């Protein structure tokens, strides 16, 4: 039961509010229903969830005919819903505000979990009734990322809110389900969703960012301040001592290092101006995104880039890249074997052995596939390339394959993943 919630539990308010309840005129073609029932997905009598969840129950009217109970109709929007414990687990009749001050409401039949505990949800319709038991476990913890205490002047940071339901369990992203606010009057920053946009000054003035789950009044906050930046720090995925093969990319990150040495560095990769200082524009390219990616177009043509953070007139030079037309000879996936339980995920890395005898990370430059997509899926072609996600309520063994091709044919490497069933 718990695992079903993890699959869709807090798409919650957003998905529920987007759903359309279809009215069924002429219920039962004029016949009176013989009974009604309540369900949530495959759950027919009870469901275990967690505090702060919001999900929609379905009420159906059933009619007897030539095939008993063969005809039914959705009556969720017309039933009268009640909870035996509304202070802990409430249910909407289209009268509970979905977000304070939003003017929108949760549709009828939506369960709103205010805290840990249990309740019996009842639906009444033209003299018939049905019950459904809901129990809720407490949230183990909330965490806001990134773990910053200072921000570079005129920079922006998109924060995220993660929740864990039990100690050691996977974290879930609830960023879009939270209400974000700057709790300090006159904060030297603006807020757009969960993105904090810092102004240029003053430095060292603390302000508080808060993320609140309105369904249960759970919240987490972070004290921030603008800080003096000492320098920009650059890091690479690929070895600085090796040429970069034309077929792959290097992941480059640039961070602000603060005068306050206790403050974590701030990633500024997506906020930089780029100037090529060595080489021609058609020799190499550097792309801006969540991180910077460098790739070359011509063998033997060195390239170097200056990365500048304009608001502070700070810059850093990349290494001088040399590029080589190296053939990929073999692939290796790490780890080659693993045991995975839903809802945990696993990040695989792919390494390629090249003509020069050196192995390099090539996770984003190869394709990935699951040889049994019913058991697990794998991400390909993105930042999360090689990320394995097991299916819910299924167990077994699955091969995850990294593959590409050279002039002599295809290259593959498999990771054997054992999937535990979620209990």
User: What are the pLDDT digits (tens) for 377-413?
Assistant: 999 987 889 999 888 767 889 999 999 987 777 888 8
Task: Identify the CATH class of 2-137.
Answer: mainly beta
Same fold, 2-137 and 141-226: yes
What is the predicted pLDDT for the residue at 67?
45
Predicted structure pTM score: 0.78
- Where the chain has pLDDT below 70, the residues are 1-30, 65-72, 167-169, 393, 421-423
For residue 8, the model assigns a pLDDT of: 41
The structure tokens listed for 274 are 């780029």
Domain boundaries, the chain: 2-137, 141-226, 229-324, 328-420
CATH number, domain 229-324, options 2.60.40, 3.30.420, 2.40.50, 3.40.50: 2.60.40
CATH of domain 328-420: 2.60.40.10
What pLDDT score was predicted for residue 29? Answer: 52
Assign domain 141-226 one CATH number from 3.90.280.10, 2.60.40.1080, 3.90.1150.10, 3.30.2310.20. 2.60.40.1080
């Amino acid at each position: 039961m718990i695992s079903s919630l993890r699959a869709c539990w807090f798409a919650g308010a957003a998905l529920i509010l987007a759903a359309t309840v279809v009215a069924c005129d002429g219920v039962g073609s004029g016949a009176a229903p013989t009974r009604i029932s309540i369900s949530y997905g495959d759950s027919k009598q009870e469901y275990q969830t967690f505090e702060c969840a919001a999900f929609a129950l379905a009420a159906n009217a059933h009619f007897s005919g030539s095939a008993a109970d063969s005809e039914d109709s959705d009556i969720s929007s017309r039933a009268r819903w009640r909870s035996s414990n509304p202070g802990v687990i409430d249910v909407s009749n289209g009268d509970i505000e979905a977000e304070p001050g939003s003017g929108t409401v949760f549709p009828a039949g939506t369960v709103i979990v205010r805290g840990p505990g249990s309740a019996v949800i009842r639906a009444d319709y033209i003299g018939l009734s049905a019950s459904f038991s809901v129990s809720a476990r407490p949230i183990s913890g909330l965490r806001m990322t990134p773990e910053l205490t200072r921000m570079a002047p005129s920079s922006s940071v998109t924060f995220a809110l993660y929740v864990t339901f039990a100690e050691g369990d996977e974290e879930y992203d609830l960023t879009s389900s939270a209400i974000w606010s700057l709790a300090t009057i006159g904060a030297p920053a603006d807020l757009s969703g969960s993105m904090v946009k810092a102004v240029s000054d003053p430095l060292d003035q603390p302000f508080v960012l808060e993320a609140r789950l309105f369904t249960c009044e759970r919240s987490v906050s972070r004290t921030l301040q603008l800080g003096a930046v000492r320098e920009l720090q650059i890091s690479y995925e690929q070895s600085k001592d090796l040429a970069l093969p034309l077929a792959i990319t290097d992941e480059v990150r640039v961070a602000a290092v603060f005068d306050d040495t206790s403050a974590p560095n701030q990633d500024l990769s997506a906020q930089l101006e780029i100037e090529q200082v060595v080489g021609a524009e058609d020799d190499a390219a550097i792309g801006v995104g969540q991180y910077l990616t460098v790739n070359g177009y011509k063998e033997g043509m060195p390239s170097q880039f200056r990365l500048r953070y304009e608001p502070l007139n700070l810059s850093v030079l990349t290494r001088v890249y040399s590029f080589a037309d190296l053939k990929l000879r073999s692939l290796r996936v790490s780890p080659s074997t693993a045991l995975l339980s839903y809802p945990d995920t696993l990040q695989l890395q792919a390494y390629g052995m090249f003509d020069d005898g050196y192995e390099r990370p090539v996770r984003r430059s190869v394709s990935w596939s699951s040889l049994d997509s019913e058991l697990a899926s794998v991400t390909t072609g993105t930042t999360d390339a090689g990320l394995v996600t097991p299916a819910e309520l299924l167990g077994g063994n699955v091969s995850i394959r990294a593959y590409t091709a050279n002039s002599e044919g295809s290259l593959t490497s498999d990771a054997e993943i054992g999937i535990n069933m979620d209990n």
